[in-house]
Structures are given as C-alpha cells and as structure tokens.
Amino acid sequence: MPSPAASFLSSSPSDLARAADLLRTGHCVALPTETVYGLAADALNPAALAQVFTIKGRPLLDPLIVHVLDQAALAEVAELDERLALLAGFWPGPLTVVLRRKPCVPDLVTASKPTVAVRIPAHPIFREVLRLSGRPLAAPSANPFGYVSPTKAAHVSDSLGARCPWIVDGGACTHGVESTILDLSVPGRARLLRPGPVTLEALQAKLGPIEVVTRAVSQQIAQDAPGMLERHYSPATRVELFARGAQPAAAVGKVARLLLARRTDLPVGPEDFYLSEHGSAEEGARHLFDLLRQLDARGFDVIQAELAEAVGIGAAYNDRLTRAAAR
C-alpha cells in the first residue's frame, strides 16, 4: 500500500544514509539543492527514472539534469569540453552545462538526444547523498510538471503529496530559482538556455560572447525540451507584470501586488507583498516561488508582479515571472 503522505527525512547521518539506500535500490527521494528542491533518482536506472516522470506528470520528451559530485564523476556520463576548465570556479554551484553524452546514460535521461545536462551541486545534503549513494543522480525540480518549483520541503509535499514518498528537509533554498543552463554541446558555440544564479555577465567574462536563446527561438527549442516552454513555473492564479518602479494597470477583483521592495507611491486597494527589504533581485529570486505559492492558495483574481532590472540574477527573476504570466 502506498503511504498516505510523504515521509520527511532530516539531515542526520542516519537519515541521509537511508536516503542514499533508497536511491541505490531504485526509489525516488526529494532532496534540497542550493537552487530548488529536486526529485532525485539513480541516473543509470531506467526503472527509477520512469518513476520520476510518473510522479511529476512530466512528458518523456523533457530531458533530465544529471547531478554528480565532481569532474571525475562528470566524465563518466558526459564528454568533457576544454571550456569547462574556464568554468571551474562556478562548480560546485548553480550551473548546469549541456555536453555530449556518454553511451551509459539511459535514453530516459536525455530524451534520446545526443546530449546530457550535468551539474555539480553545492548543497551539502545533496553532496553527501551523492557521496553515500555512489551514483549520478538525475533530478528535475520536485513539482508537478509546469507548476512553480519548490524552495522548501513543505512545497514538495504540498504539490506532490504521497506521490513523492520521501523528502529530505534541508530548509529553504539559498538561490530560489533553478540553475543557469549553458549549452556547450557544439564545439566553438556557447548558448544560454536558461538564465539563473550564475549570471550571463559572469559566464561571458570567462567564455567571451554567449548566444542567448531568445523567446522566439525558445518556442523551437520547446519541441526538444518542453521544460523551456513559454508557459512554465505557473501558478493557477493569473499573473500580470509591470516594469520596476512603474504603476501597475488598474485591476478589478481581489488583487495581490507582488513588489520587489516597499513602495509608498501606489494607489491603495490591492494587498501588497514584498519580496525583499531594499529591492535586491537576489532576495527577490530567493522568495519568489514561495510567495507565488502562498498567494496562489489565497484565492486572488490576479497577482500583479513587479519585474526587476534585467541584469545579473534579475534576468532569471524576470524569466521565471514572465513564464508564470504566460497563458
């Protein structure tokens, strides 16, 4: 009989050993990373991977990110690229790189593509479970496909319920938005597929010019990787956007305003919620998904959300909000 609710594990050595055992024996376990919570499974076990897709309701066409402990483990699943040496300072951390795959990687991970997305995470709990399990771990964000990613353990149980039987509680995630995805699978070409905590500016300082995949091109990419879909990270409540510091349009009904920082210049009426003390995009990104989930549960007709300046992590913050607003 499936358990009626998810079981929470702590970060104690015995609980992490339990999590690693479960993963080694083909079960799925939700684990914290420094970006968002991931639904982890043994990346080399097709039966375990199949459960990830079932639990999330994720299309099989959408490939998974493989998490490894270090570059030696990375070389077992992907062809190394000389440009990785320039990126060494970003790992362990919130950077995912798309490389050519090694034959041992199951087609379920790569959606039968010749590439695999890999990341060396920094979160000590995830790293300890990687070490104890001795396996590369595939992990998409631990949310139903298309919904807002989880940044706290309770978000995972709230939206996946008993479908995800095990969750390691590591508290709130530091970055709050998913990793940056950089495609280096074609020699001499670098493409940013998803903005994230490792900023475009920081990557370009190491690699030189990087092609940013535009929204129009994203639609094309969506056929290969539905996770890049325009409408993604979406609450059920309608989301409308307005520029940083601008006045949101007048709206009828029960309106929530999601603001980067406190504002005194706005007309009264809507309920205001603040993502940061002083308007920092880092703090905004950290709290965005948590607040979107809270507001989504409160029966608002519309959430009017303030965009950040589109530099640094502001690009990732705006990307997630724009997708949340797409209909």
The residues of the shown chain that bind ligand TXA, judged by CB under 6 A, are 33, 35-36, 38, 62-65, 96, 98, 110, 113, 115-117, 119, 139-141, 178-179, 181, 193, 225, 227-228
Q: Whats the size of the chain, residue-wise?
A: 327
Residue whose tokens read 């990793």: 179
**Binder of residue 122, out of ligand TXA, Mg ion, none (CB less than 5 to 8 A by kind):** none
**Binder of residue 44, out of Mg ion, ligand TXA, none (CB less than 5 to 8 A by kind):** none
How far apart CA 242 and CA 177 sit, in angstroms, is 20
DSSP 86: G
User: Measured from the CB atom, is 141 or 322 closer to Mg ion?
Assistant: 141
Nearest-approach distance from CB 304 to ligand TXA, in angstroms = 26
Alpha helices (H) along 165-234? 200-207, 215-221
**Binder of residue 157, out of Mg ion, ligand TXA, none (CB less than 5 to 8 A by kind):** none
**Binder of residue 322, out of ligand TXA, Mg ion, none (CB less than 5 to 8 A by kind):** none
Do residues 251 and 267 touch, judged by C-beta distance below 8 A?
no
User: Measured from the CB atom, is 28 or 256 closer to Mg ion?
Assistant: 28
Residue whose tokens read 């990557």: 203
Residue whose tokens read 């949310």: 143
DSSP 174: S
- Point out which span in 78-86, 138-146, 185-193, 199-207 binds Mg ion (CB under 5 A): 138-146
**Binder of residue 225, out of Mg ion, ligand TXA, none (CB less than 5 to 8 A by kind):** ligand TXA
User: Measured from the CB atom, is 149 or 157 closer to Mg ion?
Assistant: 149
- Please report whether residue 141 would count as binding Mg ion according to CB under 5 A: yes
Nearest-approach distance from CB 61 to ligand TXA, in angstroms = 9
Phi, psi of 321 (to 5 degrees): -65, -40
Nearest-approach distance from CB 27 to Mg ion, in angstroms = 20
How far apart CA 143 and CA 221 sit, in angstroms, is 22
Cα dihedral 83, 87, 92, 96, rounded to 10, equals -70
How far apart CA 188 and CA 294 sit, in angstroms, is 44
User: Measured from the CB atom, is 170 or 270 closer to Mg ion?
Assistant: 170
**Binder of residue 113, out of Mg ion, ligand TXA, none (CB less than 5 to 8 A by kind):** ligand TXA
User: Measured from the CB atom, is 145 or 273 closer to ligand TXA?
Assistant: 145
**C-alpha distances in Å from residue 261, one per residue of 70, 110, 117, 138:** 38, 40, 35, 36
How far apart CA 318 and CA 301 sit, in angstroms, is 21
Nearest-approach distance from CB 273 to ligand TXA, in angstroms = 24
Under the rule (CB under 5 A), what is the footprint of Mg ion?
141
